[in-house]
Amino acid sequence: MGVPLYCTKIAKRFGREVEHEGHSHGMHVFAAPPSVVVDLCRFLKDDPELRFNFLSDICGVDRYPQTPRFEVVYHLYSIPLKWRLRIKCRVDDPPRVSSVVGVWKTANWHEREAYDMYGIVFDGHPDLRRIYMWEEFEGYPMRKDFPLRGYKDTYNPFGEEKTETSSSSLSDDQDNNSSQPGEKR
Amino acid sequence: MGILENRFPDNVFFSTADSIINWSRKSALWPETFGIACCAIEMIATGCSRYDLDRFGIVFRPSPRQSDVMVIAGTVTKKFAPVVRRLYDQMPEPRWVIAMGTCAITGGVYNTYAVVQGSELVVPVDVHVPGCPPRPEALMHGFLLLQEKIQKSHVLRRHDPESAMAG
């Protein structure tokens, strides 16, 4: 199998902005800066010869202590042509990327997940709320500086004590129970 | 029972009355149809014809208002804990709770930021049924233990036998 059509097309359209990072796990990988991700996605979806009409996943990655710290990974699939490809987008801290909800509607919940777990903010997202954790939850649990067992409270006596450094990025007026949802007796 | 509860001494009349009340309570334990995770599958199997909880008078009810046992069958996450508490609060007294499975007892392998480390922290638990998930026989044993506990409980009689003697 030679170089797939989408590799040459991406190289032709975006030149050096989008870098080809090789082939792994059955997929060609491209690295795109946050500024061109939406354009690249729209191009891949709308081009009549590519038709990547299905966004199978958006993942967040925390590469702490590397910089840029975060990475957003898009997995695309072309249903008519049976092609898969992966786009990686490295973002700084605090992480901000443009939303691709305008390209694929399904990105809505994927982006909410990445926001919930990693705190990656998707500009232009219509409804960027937490999707797994409750509204009052503080912190982003999949970040590497978030303790695995969470913070100590009445429901979680084995969690870590909140210290000044660990809660510095969070709001100031929190007591032990503030991370519990709803009423408590 | 309201004003009559735990007011009377231990004597033939009240201990007989207690044993009748307890017998009637333990013979028709109605659990909530309420399962949280994989333990619920085992709980459903226990209720179905092969294991058949009905023969103990245990019939699943669709509303907490009609039930007197809550089987916490699964992992209680912190997000779900207020719901468990509310369902417990909606049950009429007397009410009992069975924590089914390791997750419900201690949080199990999920020693994480999202999981309540034991449903004891949310509602008072009467019987713990260990297992991951417990087999239907284990849950049935849990129900039988609960029946034993109910049969021994004081309803009209005072809790403390010494003060009951004095009174």
pLDDT of residue A176: 42
Count of CB atoms within 10 A of residue B103's CB? 28
Rounded Cα distance between A109 and A132, Å, is: 10
Alpha carbon separation from A95 to A91, A92, A122, B42, B71 (Å, rounded) = 6, 5, 9, 44, 43
Candidates B79, B82, B117; nearest CB to A156: B117
Percent of chain B with pLDDT over 90: 69
Domains of chain B: 29-144 (3.40.50.12280)
Rounded Cα distance between A91 and A33, Å, is: 8
pLDDT of residue B161: 58
pLDDT of residue A173: 39
Interchain proximity A147–B113, CB inside 8 Å: yes
pLDDT tens for each residue of B13-37: 888 889 999 999 999 999 999 999 9
Specify whether the CB–CB gap between A88 and A21 falls below 8 A. Answer: yes
The answer to whether the predicted template modeling score (pTM) of the entire model surpasses 0.90 is no
If you write DSSP's letter for every residue of B142-160 in order, what string do you get? Answer: HHHHHHHHHHH--SSB-S-
Which residues are B70's β-sheet partners? B97
Find residues 122-141 of chain B whose CB sits inside 8 Å of chain A. 122
Task: Check residue A180 and report its DSSP letter.
Answer: S
Alpha carbon separation from A85 to A76, B28, B124 (Å, rounded) = 5, 59, 52
Interchain proximity B112–A149, CB inside 8 Å: yes
pLDDT of residue B72: 93
Tell which wins on pLDDT, A185 or A19. Answer: A19
Between helix B136-152 and helix B12-27 the angle, nearest 10°, is: 160
Rounded Cα distance between A151 and A158, Å, is: 8
Give yes or no for residue A164 having a pLDDT over 90.
no
**Residue A90 identity (one-letter amino acid):** R
Q: Which of B76, B78, B86, B115 to mutate to test the interface with A (most CBs of A within 10 A)?
A: B78
pLDDT tens for each residue of B85-123: 999 999 998 899 999 999 999 988 998 899 999 999 999
Give yes or no for residue A61 having a pLDDT over 90.
yes
Place of tokens 């009052």: A136
Compute the 3-state secondary structure of chain A and give helix, strand, coil in percent, each to the nearest 5: 15, 25, 55
Nearest to B114, CA basis, from A179, A61, A130, A54: A179
pLDDT of residue A158: 83
* Residue B17 tokens, joined: 């009355």
Shortest Cα distance, chain B CAs vs residue A168, angstroms? 18
Alpha carbon separation from B93 to B33, B67, B68, B74 (Å, rounded) = 18, 9, 7, 23
Task: Check residue A28 and report its DSSP letter.
Answer: E
ipTM score assigned to the predicted complex: 0.72
Q: SS3 for A9?
A: helix
Give yes or no for residue A180 having a pLDDT over 80.
no
Mean predicted lDDT score pLDDT of chain A: 85
Domains of chain A: 5-146 (3.30.460.80)
Percent of chain A with pLDDT over 70: 88
Q: Tell me the residue length of chain B.
A: 167
pLDDT of residue A1: 57
Q: SS3 for A174?
A: coil
Shortest Cα distance, chain B CAs vs residue A100, angstroms? 29
pLDDT tens for each residue of B43-90: 999 999 999 999 999 999 999 999 999 999 999 999 999 999 999 999
Candidates B79, B85, B117; nearest CB to A185: B85
